[in-house]
Amino acid sequence: SRGDLLTFTFTIENKGELDLIIDKIDASEYIQYDTEIPLTILPGEKQEVTFTYESSQHELGEVRESVRIYCNDPRRKAFSLRVDGYIKEKSAPAVSISPVGISFNLTTDSEGEIIGRFILENSGEEVIKITSIKASADYLIPLKSEIELNSGEKENLQVILLRDKVSDKIQEGEIEEYLYLTVAIPIVINK
């Protein structure tokens, strides 16, 4: 997906009798590597080189990039690696809330607090952060002030109705209040 950092590791083995010296690596602007050049590999030894592909600046669609590695091997002065793939847009976050609302009945004989429950579920691929959970009335108390949901994770959110605080605010009929969830959406800025 666009914005992902993909890494791949390539192993270079010196099968010769002299030191193998990697003296240059040419890579596209989207590919970085973690190896200091020149790199000397002794006879019979192996060296791993890790490349990182930065997809956030690349156009959506098919990708064909290459890395060219230059060395002092008398038979093969350079060799190439190809990176082929497809960049797609990240899937949108998907949060479901059930039930879509709750109803408290004040005419029952129960005393004290009444608890309502919601289930929040993240069916998207990315972490979702809910940074603020507030009610529209002081007699509704959410038991969590923030939630972080990983992909595939569910979380119970309980809301308490303080019966003694609401009775003087509602006469007959019904009143509708709300629970407000503030969702944090990441914004990535590259330079």
pLDDT, position 144: 93
pLDDT, position 154: 94
List Cα–Cα distances, 142 to 74, 83, 104, 137, 138, in angstroms: 72, 49, 14, 11, 10
Rounded CA-CA distance 41/35 in Å is 12
Domain spans, the chain = 5-87, 95-184
Give yes or no on whether 5-87 and 95-184 have one common fold. yes
pLDDT, position 156: 93
- Listed as ranges, residues in the chain with pLDDT below 70 are 1, 107-112, 167-173, 188, 190-191
pLDDT, position 124: 82
CATH architecture of the domain with residue range 95-184: Sandwich (2.60)
pTM (global) more than 0.85: no
pLDDT, position 6: 83
- The string of pLDDT tens digits covering residues 8-24 is 898 999 999 999 999 99
pLDDT, position 190: 65
CATH architecture of the domain with residue range 5-87: Sandwich (2.60)
